[in-house]
Structures are given as structure tokens and as C-alpha cells.
Structure 1
Amino acid sequence: MKNIVEILKALSNESRLQILFWLKNPKKYFSHCTDVDMIEIGVCVGEIQRLLGFTQSTTSQYLSILQKSDLVIATRIGKWTYYKRNEETIKKLGEFIGKEL
């Protein structure tokens, strides 16, 4: 698991937490207009930006922080980047908190 401090820093922002919340159930929150499977591949930056109401730059910065902390996985298809939760890291984080804290 990545450095726990890095993960906790990534989670210390309400908007980044919101992104992870939305990505837990993407079909409920996002209206994809592509044939990409939101569960398997993820949600495009534009859809996340639309819900956040932030600029593309800020949205991309938040997603980059989540990706660097291994909380999301990015997949590039053509000119689009899609993001989904990294369930393995989230599970390990829960286990760490349950055992160590």
C-alpha cells in the first residue's frame, strides 16, 4: 500500500472524497454519452468536472492527487482519460485503519 500519509492527505479534501463517493456507484451519478463501461473502465474527466462544478484544471489536479495516492486508476482511450476507484487500495486502507489505529 502506498504511503498512508499520502493517502490520508488525498482524503483530507471534501471534493476529492466526493469524487470517490460518486465513483463508488458511477451509474447513479454520471450520464455517460459513450459506449465505455463506467464500472470496468471508469468515468471521463468531463463528467466528473460537470458534477464538481470546477474548472478542468482543478478537476484534473484533484484526480491526479487521487491517482498518485493509488485511490483511483486512470485509463486512457484515445483523447479521453477515464477514472475508477482502486478498490484494492481502499480495502487495504480500511484494514489498516481497523488494525493499526
Structure 2
Amino acid sequence: MLRTPVSVRRLDILEWLKDPAAHFPRQRQGDLVEDGVTAAAVAAKLGVPRKVAETHLALLADIGVLRTRRIRRRLYYRRDEMRIAEVARMFEKGW
């Protein structure tokens, strides 16, 4: 996790996913809060191609701050609040 470069885009994604209903439009499948948002929705919000958004989301999922859920053919991303709190505690303690 510490080797992951900090990115304003990734920080924005994490911030938006705190309250996805306020930052993303309703989806045809999946609940924004319970299931998360798709890479396409994040890409539209960032103004980048879907593949770029998928790269950011995959990295955040790999380090454990996002959870994924597959509904039909799409992958949905949401924050893992317990993991984020755990990481914050590690940094507060001075790792």
C-alpha cells in the first residue's frame, strides 16, 4: 500500500464514494450505496476513458480500500470503511 503512488484522481474517487448518491446518477442495476458504482460512472465523472477509471479502481481494490461486487456482467465498487479506518489507525500510531 505504501508503494502505491498518490493520485488526486484516486483521492477524488474515494471522496465521491463516501456519498455515491450525491455524486453519481442512479444506475439501472445495483444500488449506489449498497452495491457501489461502475467504472463507467467513475469514468464519466472523471472525464476519462473507462479503461483509465478501471485502472484506478482496480488499484484501490488491490490495496483493500474498495470492495467489489459483480452484478450480471458489471463490477461495482464501494468503499471498505473498516479497512480505511484500519489504515488510518496505523498511520496515527506512527506505523
Q: Residue by residue, what CA displacement relative to the aligned partner does 1:19-43 show, whole Å, maximum 9, x if unpaired? A: 0000000010000232522111101
Q: Note if 1:91 corresponds to 2:85.
A: yes
Q: TM-score, normalised by structure 1?
A: 0.86
Q: Note if 1:41 corresponds to 2:19.
A: no
Equivalences for residues 65-80 of structure 1 within 5 A = 65-80=59-74
Consecutive unaligned residues in structure 1, runs of 5 or more: none
What is the SS of the residue equivalent to 1:36?
coil
| Distance (whole Å) between structure 1 residues aligned to residue 51 and residue 38 of structure 2 | 14
Equivalences for residues 1-101 of structure 1 within 5 A = 4-6=1-3, 9=4, 12-100=6-94
Give the partner amino acid of 1:24.
K
Q: Runs of 4 or more off by more than 4 Å in structure 1? A: none
| Distance (whole Å) between structure 1 residues aligned to residue 31 and residue 72 of structure 2 | 15
Give the partner amino acid of 2:66.
V
Which of structures 1 and 2 has the larger relative contact order (alpha carbons within 8 angstroms, sep 6+)? 1
| Distance (whole Å) between structure 1 residues aligned to residue 22 and residue 85 of structure 2 | 22
How many residues get paired?
95
| Distance (whole Å) between structure 2 residues aligned to residue 32 and residue 79 of structure 1 | 18
Deviation, 1:92, is 0.5
**Is the contact between residue 32 and residue 43 of structure 1 (CA under 8 Å) also seen in structure 2?**
no
Query: What fraction of aligned residue pairs are identical, expressed as a percent?
Result: 26
Q: Which has the higher helix share?
A: 1
RMSD in angstroms over aligned alpha carbons? 1.4
Give the partner amino acid of 2:24.
F
Give the partner amino acid of 1:90.
I
